[in-house]
A and B are shown apart, each in its own frame.
Chain A
Amino acid sequence: MTGDQNVLRVRDLRVHYGTGRGDIIAVNGVSFDVRAGETLGLVGESGSGKSTTAMALLRLVSPPGRIVGGTVMLHGEDLLAADERTLRRRRWSEVSLIPQGSMNSLNPVLRVGDQIVDVIRTHEGRARGAALTERVTGLLETVGLPPRVMRLYPHELSGGMKQRACIAMAIALSPSLIIADEPTSALDVVVQRVVARTLMEVKDRLNSSMILIGHDMALQAHLVDRIAVMYAGNIVEIGPVAEIFRDPRHPYTRHLIASVPSIHRRKPIVPSELRFPDHGRGTLLSRGRQMSSRRRPVDLYEVSPGHFAARADDETWAVTEEDPTHA
């Protein structure tokens, strides 16, 4: 890790999804920092709010979702308060995204090269054709793609190639932060490892920071410096990766770690016994009362320097033994 300066400082980020009967809390006042050059893993099950958090950082939450509160400070500038023009300029040049559905993330009617040239032209102005071509070829080469890919259409690429093309696009402007939203989840295991390695290599070369979203604890253990565990819209544990694996405090973190398959012994499948807070009432807020009755963020206590966890003995986070059917 280089230095202790924070590239990104997120405080009390809240995202709600509006429904006819009230709001669903997707992100419940999340706070975390991303340091220069580090990779932060954001893990949690589907629906835990990790992707929504990522999209909120770029203000890309689409209706019925909306960002209700919080600050996202990028190099000391609040992106959530920035005007459209500033926001548009910061996107990609400062924070780029490797999307979750990279299979469908490329525009089907534009050539791969043109989609990379797009960002260069928009953020850096007109550039000469030959220099551009050389630059795009260079980017493709960085992620292990041959130059001819430039002239191909997305449907002519394999899944792994599309993902690499997305990585090439994400590093085109040397951003200070790359958000990778489950960048390898759509790929098979072999390609996953190769793409993940490529990703970390280019990230290190640019000396960018990265937020790596995923649910595969085994993959995270290899790639990230720190881990933040999300559950039901809250970060329930955050800390250095080695520390988290050595001494997981929150029951949900333990479940995630226990779910990593082992080749040495056969493990039973352990379903999570955790129940969502509010005792099955869900996280629905009744309409008109959103502001007054929204839930407080979960309090974290410091386990060891840099390692924080939510108190699991607290009533909301109780691990219940009771039969969920009569809840």
Chain B
Amino acid sequence: MRGLTWGYVARRLGMYVFTLWLSATIMFFIPRLSGDPVEGMVARITMQSGHVAGGEELIAAWRERFGLDDPLFVQYLTYLRNMLTFDFGYSLANFPTEVNSLIGRAVPWTLGLLTVATVLSFVLGTVIGALLAWRRTPRLLRVLMPLSLTFTAIPFYILGILLIYLFVFTLRLFPVSGGYRSGLTPDAFDPAFVNSVIQHGTLPALSIVVASMGVWALGMRGMMITVEGEDYLTLANAKGLRPGRILFQYQIRNAMLPQVTALVLGLGGLVGGTVLVEYLFGYPGTGALLYQAITNADFTLIQGIVFILILTTVTAVLIIDLVYPLLDPRITYERR
């Protein structure tokens, strides 16, 4: 690939592994600073139900079960091996459900919802931003577009509440919560199920799109104006090129570069979900799962989700670094 060298790819992969190891290690030690999770959990159960028979024995049994009696470095090595093989063990709060199956169930929902919402808001926002800065944009659009961006000032969870009030309780157009109508079995090939998923996903997606596209639009507009002042744009006009060609090949292509970086980074962090939106709409994604895990002090589940999150973010950054020379020929990784 142009601009890439094997040496660079090797170094970059080395950094990738190092980053993963470092964050996994931090994630191993931090919970152990906050006291014994098993004791904490038994204490909580005791508080909730008033009394737990044989509390001490329970603690000892669980400590053994989770390997918490082993010396620290044995625990650490076991932990690393588990992370490497994506074996996150059992959920503490939902024993004996495995963390993997909890995450596995939640990830498709979040990925589906957020990929659609993010890409949509990226495309809309970038187009609006480009048109806001373009000199030939019709006047009507120039007036309307900034209005559509005022929603950006509203936090998306408040926007979500407004949408629920308007479309669910007043107009009764959309279902109130969940990922699909209860009673249906998840089946990607069942039209009724797919339809239900789209219906349930519309409002959460809408609240994210409307709230976040303004950020994309403002960024794009700023870059468009910067590029507008560049000499190569003046020359493009002097060349008598068609306005459309100047807009796309000269102005937008240069203005897009920072937008793309932000998009890929954003996509990398998607797996974590948006806790507030998912919580608000009762959406069965990783954001809601993470929220539950934190309220339940479900360490293994938190570890699992955070590790997947780190993995996808670091991978996204790696992908940007490897793909960027294709977008911007000035960036090259050859050593000079």
| A interface, CB within 8 angstroms of B | 55, 58, 60, 62, 87-93, 96-97, 99-110, 118-119, 122-123, 153, 155, 166, 169
Contact = CB atoms under 8 A, between A and B. Distances in A.
Contacts of B253: 107, 109-110
Nearest to A111: B329
Nearest to A109: B253
A110 B232 CA distance: 11
9 contacts: A62-B234, A92-B238, A92-B240, A99-B234, A109-B253, A109-B254, A109-B329, A119-B241, A153-B329
B236 A107 contact: yes
A118 B231 contact: no
A90 B238 CA distance: 10
A92 B240 CA distance: 6
A85 to B, nearest CB: 10
A122 B246 CA distance: 11
Given A91-B237, A109-B327, A118-B239, 17 more contacts: A60-B237, A60-B238, A62-B234, A88-B242, A91-B240, A96-B239, A97-B238, A99-B231, A99-B235, A100-B231, A103-B231, A107-B236, A109-B254, A119-B241, A122-B239, A122-B240, A155-B329
Contacts of A123: 240
Interface in B244-292: 245, 249-250, 253-254
A122 B177 CA distance: 54
B69 interface: no
Interface residues of B, number: 21
B245 A118 contact: yes
Contacts of B245: 118, 122
Contacts of A96: 238-239
Question: Which secondary structure characterizes the binding site on chain B?
Answer: helix
B329 A107 contact: no
Contact of A106 (B232, B240, B241, B328): B232
Interface string B208-247: 0000000000000000000000111011111111100100
Contacts of A104: 230-232
A105 B232 contact: yes
A106 B17 CA distance: 39
B249 A119 contact: no
B163 to A, nearest CB: 39
A100 B232 CA distance: 11
B330 interface: yes
A122 B245 CA distance: 10
Contacts of A60: 234, 237-238
Nearest to A108: B330
A132 to B, nearest CB: 16
A119 B240 contact: yes
The 8 A-B pairs with the shortest beta carbon distances in the complex, nearest first, are: A91-B240, A104-B231, A153-B329, A101-B231, A97-B238, A105-B231, A92-B240, A88-B240
Contacts of A166: 235
Contacts of B328: 108-109
Contact of B238 (A99, A102, A103, A153): A99
Nearest to A110: B249
Nearest to A63: B135
A156 to B, nearest CB: 8
A55 B253 CA distance: 25
A92 B239 contact: yes
A205 B4 CA distance: 43
Contacts of A97: 235, 238
B155 to A, nearest CB: 36
A96 B330 CA distance: 27
A58 B234 CA distance: 11
Contacts of A155: 329-330
Among B232, B235, B241, the most chain A Cβ lie within 10 Å of the Cβ of B235
A286 B100 CA distance: 74
B4 to A, nearest CB: 15
Among A101, A107, A155, the most chain B Cβ lie within 10 Å of the Cβ of A107
B254 A107 contact: yes
A122 B232 CA distance: 17
B240 A107 contact: no
A103 B235 CA distance: 12
Contacts of B236: 107
A110 B327 CA distance: 10
